[in-house]
């Protein structure tokens, strides 16, 4: 792993409507991401987007993502957005911020960490922090967490603990400074490195190659401009894991036929697509059968494959 830089790369995840885009705007101190409004209350984040800004002489790069449980996405769209997120956060994020409204913590959200592990690897939870938004409680957030067992356990599993944002006061820099200090301490506990794995390394390699091609075509193009373009269009994002999509589709169909819930079936599909980035055969075995245990075996196969690389 490379040592952490002065800059922070932050990936914001969570369910639709939790306040991901608003939180990204608070971190960046502006209106970088479109947010829902009274005239347009529906979620407006349909694909991963990265924006950056300077804060206290640091460059903060925030990757905003669609809702984790966005049911209208096709498997192809899931594949593309996972690849896009990895590319925009390459060579690796310093933190995964899981945005949650504490007073409406739903059962689906308890699967968030498992999904993050399936998408980004088991060690991703060490770089995960809960970000509470829409906090309108009669008690302190600490007391609320203590009295809510499911939420308490969720926070316990996150390596970075939690932070609270008031997105209605997005111009208050103090809450951002406090968040960055918590992220910095978490990174130090993890050895002073940002999170990375073979998928992020593949994305970084694709970005570097794309940058070289762009600068060869346009010698006057600055490295920062070439990087900006390369992060958003490269072979890693365009890569389509056809076999995995087919296997995931089979898994979804079989799961639905067996009465498996949509959330779990979708979770299987996401894991199948991601695993295919390095190990399509093992994932097809599990996802094609549409069974959780088979999927676990396919992941085990992939982990063995990774260990040999």
d(CA 254, CA 252): 6
Give the H or E element holding residue 244. helix 242-257
d(CA 117, CA 137): 30
pLDDT in tens, the chain (309 residues): 444 455 899 999 998 888 999 999 999 998 889 887 544 555 567 889 999 999 999 999 999 998 876 556 777 788 888 999 999 999 999 999 999 988 888 777 888 899 999 999 999 999 999 999 988 777 889 999 999 999 999 999 999 899 999 888 878 899 999 999 999 999 999 999 999 999 999 999 999 999 999 999 999 999 999 999 999 999 999 875 433 443 444 444 444 444 444 444 444 445 444 444 444 433 433 344 344 443 444 344 344 444 444
The answer to whether the beta carbons of residues 97 and 11 sit under 8 Å apart is yes
This prediction has a pTM of: 0.79
pLDDT of residue 134: 82
For every residue of 118-130, DSSP letters joined together read: HHH-GGGGGGEEE
Residues near 293 by Cβ (< 8 Å), separated by ≥ 6? none
d(CA 67, CA 75): 14
Calculate the CA 183 to chain-centre distance: 16
d(CA 44, CA 33): 9
């Amino acid at each position: 792993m490379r040592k952490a830089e002065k800059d922070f790369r932050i990936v914001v995840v969570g369910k639709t409507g939790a306040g991901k885009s608003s939180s990204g705007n608070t971190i960046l101190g502006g209106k970088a991401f479109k947010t829902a409004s009274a005239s347009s209350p529906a979620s407006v984040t349909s694909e991963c987007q990265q924006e950056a800004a300077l804060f206290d002489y640091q460059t903060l790069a925030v990757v905003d993502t669609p809702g984790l449980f966005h049911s209208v996405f096709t498997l192809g769209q899931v594949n593309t957005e996972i690849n896009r997120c990895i590319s925009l956060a390459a060579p690796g994020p310093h933190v995964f911020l899981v945005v949650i409204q504490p007073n409406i913590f739903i059962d689906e959200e308890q699967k968030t960490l498992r999904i993050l592990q399936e998408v980004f690897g088991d060690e991703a939870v060490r770089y995960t922090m809960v970000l509470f938004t829409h906090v309108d409680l009669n008690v302190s957030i600490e007391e609320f967490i203590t009295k809510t067992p499911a939420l308490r356990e969720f926070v316990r599993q996150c390596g970075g603990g939690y932070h609270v944002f008031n997105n209605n006061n997005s111009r208050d820099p103090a809450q951002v400074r406090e968040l960055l200090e918590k992220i910095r301490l978490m990174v130090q506990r993890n050895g002073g490195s940002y999170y990375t794995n073979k998928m992020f390394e593949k994305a970084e390699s694709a970005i570097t190659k794309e940058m070289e091609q762009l600068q060869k075509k346009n010698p006057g193009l600055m490295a920062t401009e070439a990087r900006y373009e390369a992060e958003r269009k490269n072979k890693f994002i365009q890569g389509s894991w056809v076999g995995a999509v087919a296997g995931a589709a089979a898994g979804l169909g079989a799961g639905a036929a067996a009465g498996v819930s949509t959330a779990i079936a979708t979770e299987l599909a996401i894991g199948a697509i991601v695993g295919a980035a390095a190990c399509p055969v093992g994932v097809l075995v599990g996802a094609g059968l549409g069974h959780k245990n088979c999927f676990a075996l396919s992941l085990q196969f992939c982990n063995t494959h990774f260990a040999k690389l």
